[in-house]
Structure 1
């Protein structure tokens, strides 16, 4: 795992200052403390920071191809590089290292852009062709590894693993995109469709860019997609056996490393499944670690300990408390853009804990999106059945009116919180799911904005792009479309961003076996009843893993990695909540109503409403704006 950065002149081959590329790499030095390198030629500069995982003593970057024609900088891991090396060697390729970087170069020279489907793994890389003077940028199928880029005023394009690599370039335009604020407040992160800075962009997951000098900047090209349109046939026993084979294959392929390896263990289905399969394949105890909380209702570390005992792992655990809030500025600096998934804090802590003993850690991320494991998937499945019975012309006025008058009972037991469901049923499937997955609904967002910001926003709504993605999905049902949108929008924007930044902040490589593309493609083809049945998500996976895991892990209500910010903002952090409305940074934008923010804070502290997620969003926005542009 590494960090990459570079500069490419699209118009004329101007000299690239190596010191400028080095400053960009220095900004992401945490991603690669084991080595660094810079290479420049007329019109191009490539930089690399290395975290040594495979071929520790070799494979320095930037790396030249055997014939010297191509230069590579690469962030990630190719899990099938040994098989590819054998195939390429049979075709006449020569290799001088034992790593995967040289395999990418040889694959590019043999197959060009068609090398991408042959690469199994997580990656973001750049290849410069010295003869064609072209630059090839590519990102893995699901967006495990990030890649930012920006056109600059001198006619060049800058790229890097994190936004901070671009902000280290003096020509980057540091103007906030106001529409990114709308996106952020809706989702809790800035999705891959937009960047917080107007001049910057993110290469979408499963896309590439091929740049040629003297030609206009092209649009990214999609090279991978997943289809939910086909249904796999077969007996339950056959599907179960195939799923288990894919799970084992995904886990064992990610256990290859020349450095110490372990796993995150939350005690839920997904991380427990990964640890069970690691233990099955390992000759020595698996190193595991978990994080607990100082709020007992949200602490699942005892379940993690139970799994650790069951599989005799070398287990370590720590507790996160409100005192860890002091690290908020450190968290904000990791993400550059505002990022409001509060589980970033415990994720960072568990990465710190893992890094004390290992350099690579396997996580359980991805199964919920692929196999319908979220509670919202079960609700979507049920709501779509009701939508099919009642026409939209009837649902919209009836459920819309009921939802508008139904109290927002944050304090009530979950089954009594019907307002969101009523409003969801008032729209079509895409509108309903967009509402279910959003952090701050449009009605509440509108009350936060100033008249000036409402004019800036105009007709734009954050939900529109998400709904369009669902409607255009290669899918048969509302559940299919919801999962497709999760994989394409939510997963790279939230989950994978969180894991990448928090792990790389401590120079730890995180690997996600449950995001193996073969497993994802298999899951997308399963009949709905294999995903959701009897009010349970991930039905087939839970059934498959019964041979390894107890029922109290497989079938207890899903908790998730939830940080107790609601309790913290009513207790030790109440003062922090009150000061959000007084933020000078938010006030300088002129985009918010500070009195409204203060009223929401008081309602939360008083216990009449739960606005903890919104308060956390505004707090992280304040910190990000301060760092990016408005300090």
Structure 2
């Protein structure tokens, strides 16, 4: 997990302005994302092009300075700079296939050379469509013609936005790219932000500077379109099992110590149990971690799994007060006001903070992405038919980078750690989405039925966990008697209500808050990022209301398909 940053000045600005911005504003904003790369930082100015590039490194593959970025190559009359926040787990396959020689053990050093060989479109497809290639990335490549001074800035992001990237376009045509929203300069020096948002996953875009003028290409979207084919259950179970095992195995490659978040739910438990097999073969001790308030529902199941797979497990308990104290900081760190994302991010941030302060672990494997891929949320029990089920899955995968994907990255990266998500491996996603939805839908009141059946009878997990029903992370950290969402609602109803008039709710046109809790998150968010950033979420994450009725709270514990007597999961 690293931080990448770029500031591309339009032809309207003069070099002197760019220099002053570098001294007073640009470097300061670049350093705001330094937590993503605590090992080393590099900031360079290219005055002839009026461009600044920056990189914060968390060294995972080859911890020496040979792996520092940007990578720079000279070819013909071109100078190519490459920034990549990513992990290309089997990069050696690409290096061998294309005959690329590297000088470090970094998994990203080959990128500018491969770009030079096959161009940006070819590079994108090589990283995301190949049968033998696995990885996630956000990339910025600057390609300068040394003879003319013209250049192209190439920008790309992996299909599911596992690695973050934001952009801002200013009133004078200048652009800024940053791994996190907090790294983008606000209105300054007489120019204002015209547009700010996440760079869409699965896109490649270009900025051209030719003959002194700036041009842009809106990008080429890689839409999520799948054709369901196989309705053979035995084949489906086999390929799901094989691809998830491969995704976990690939993500165990690291020159730094690896740990695992284990809530005791199906998803994190599968990732841990599969990885445990490979780590034992490697002679490496597995360390797992869980978090909860007093009497949290996750604690029992996490310890059950840890004993089953023989991991060194740590369960960290926090008080209600510690959770509440972290809320405002978390809204800033994760850069969202989405209700369920904020709630779930508090626990993720706190456990990662504990891991960073008490261990030497730098990489964490986590179970996020499974619910979007396999329809694991409790409201999927209400899916009326295969068509609507499939449409909801594609919607969730398309927007995961704004919700659970965002939480998975920011809560971990804030603490100088790297998150790896086996369930969003593109080969696994393509495999699952090629299975007929009749096999993927809930059966007999059991969500993620196909995933569970794929590991039935293997002994990988206790049946008590393999068939444990879904529990959201933001719910599982608390008790059924009093959920985390109820603790938050009580706090903000009591503290905000006397000070807030009813008309304040009408102040917001986009995603207006409907509770005092939501109002608080929005106020904190805009206090840091301003109203111009409100479109970073398109809507509040909620269960499909056409299935479950007019539900306004994202917690599964408010749904009629949730029972207090049920055992619960991640």
Same fold, judged at TM 0.5 (above): yes
Q: Secondary structure at the match of 1:212?
A: strand
What displacement does 1:586 show? 10
Q: Secondary structure at the match of 2:84?
A: strand
What displacement does 1:306 show? 0.5
What displacement does 1:46 show? 0.6
Question: Equivalences for 1:92-107 in 2 at 5 Å?
Answer: 93-107=100-114
- Which one of 80, 83, 90 corresponds to residue 73 of structure 1? 83
C-alpha RMSD of matched pairs (Å): 2.7
Name the CA distance, whole Å, in 2 between partners of 1:38 and 1:276.
41
Name the CA distance, whole Å, in 1 between partners of 2:380 and 2:468.
16
**Residue 484, structure 1, aligned to residue 492, structure 2:** no
**Residue 501, structure 1, aligned to residue 410, structure 2:** yes
Counterpart in 2 of 1:268? Answer: 265
Counterpart in 1 of 2:473? Answer: 561
Contact persistence 2:63–2:255 (CA under 8 A): yes
Counterpart in 2 of 1:159? Answer: 177
- Which one of 115, 128, 135 corresponds to residue 121 of structure 1? 135
Q: 1:281–1:572: structure 2 CA closer, same or farther, 3 Å change rule?
A: closer
Q: Secondary structure at the match of 2:110?
A: helix
Name the CA distance, whole Å, in 1 between partners of 2:252 and 2:115.
26
Counterpart in 2 of 1:434? Answer: none
Name the CA distance, whole Å, in 2 between partners of 1:247 and 1:569.
32
What displacement does 1:582 show? 4.9
What displacement does 1:519 show? 0.4
Contact persistence 1:66–1:95 (CA under 8 A): no
Counterpart in 1 of 2:276? Answer: 279
Name the CA distance, whole Å, in 1 between partners of 2:483 and 2:374.
32
What displacement does 1:482 show? 0.7
Name the CA distance, whole Å, in 2 between partners of 1:517 and 1:354.
28
Which sections of structure 2, spanning at least 5 residues, go unmatched? 128-133, 532-570
CA deviation profile, 1:266-293 (whole Å, cap 9, x unmatched): 1011111111111110122211100122
Counterpart in 1 of 2:526? Answer: 625
Q: Secondary structure at the match of 1:300?
A: helix
Contact persistence 1:139–1:208 (CA under 8 A): yes
**Residue 543, structure 1, aligned to residue 453, structure 2:** yes
- Which one of 178, 199, 205 corresponds to residue 201 of structure 2? 205
Q: 1:629–1:529: structure 2 CA closer, same or farther, 3 Å change rule?
A: closer
Name the CA distance, whole Å, in 2 between partners of 1:26 and 1:540.
45
Question: Equivalences for 1:227-242 in 2 at 5 Å?
Answer: 227-234=225-232, 236-242=233-239
Counterpart in 2 of 1:170? Answer: 188
Contact persistence 1:38–1:62 (CA under 8 A): no
What displacement does 1:227 show? 2.7
Q: 1:26–1:572: structure 2 CA closer, same or farther, 3 Å change rule?
A: closer
What displacement does 1:545 show? 1.7
Name the CA distance, whole Å, in 2 between partners of 1:335 and 1:568.
19
Name the CA distance, whole Å, in 2 between partners of 1:544 and 1:568.
32
CA deviation profile, 1:547-569 (whole Å, cap 9, x unmatched): 11122112222112124596568
Question: Equivalences for 1:424-443 in 2 at 5 Å?
Answer: none
45-54 or 207-216: bigger deviation: 207-216
Contact persistence 1:371–1:524 (CA under 8 A): no
Q: 1:541–1:336: structure 2 CA closer, same or farther, 3 Å change rule?
A: closer
Counterpart in 1 of 2:316? Answer: 318
Contact persistence 2:35–2:413 (CA under 8 A): yes
Q: 1:246–1:173: structure 2 CA closer, same or farther, 3 Å change rule?
A: farther
Q: Secondary structure at the match of 2:455?
A: helix
Counterpart in 2 of 1:180? Answer: none
Larger helix fraction of residues: 1
571-580 or 277-286: bigger deviation: 571-580
Counterpart in 2 of 1:435? Answer: none
What displacement does 1:589 show? 8.9
What displacement does 1:351 show? 1.4
Which sections of structure 1, spanning at least 5 residues, go unmatched? 175-196, 385-475, 598-610
Q: 1:165–1:158: structure 2 CA closer, same or farther, 3 Å change rule?
A: same
Contact persistence 2:60–2:254 (CA under 8 A): yes
Counterpart in 1 of 2:424? Answer: 515
CA deviation profile, 1:21-74 (whole Å, cap 9, x unmatched): 422221111111110112222222111111111111021112202547200121
Q: 1:37–1:524: structure 2 CA closer, same or farther, 3 Å change rule?
A: same
Counterpart in 1 of 2:381? Answer: 378
Name the CA distance, whole Å, in 2 between partners of 1:48 and 1:537.
42
TM-score, length basis structure 1: 0.73
Counterpart in 2 of 1:420? Answer: none
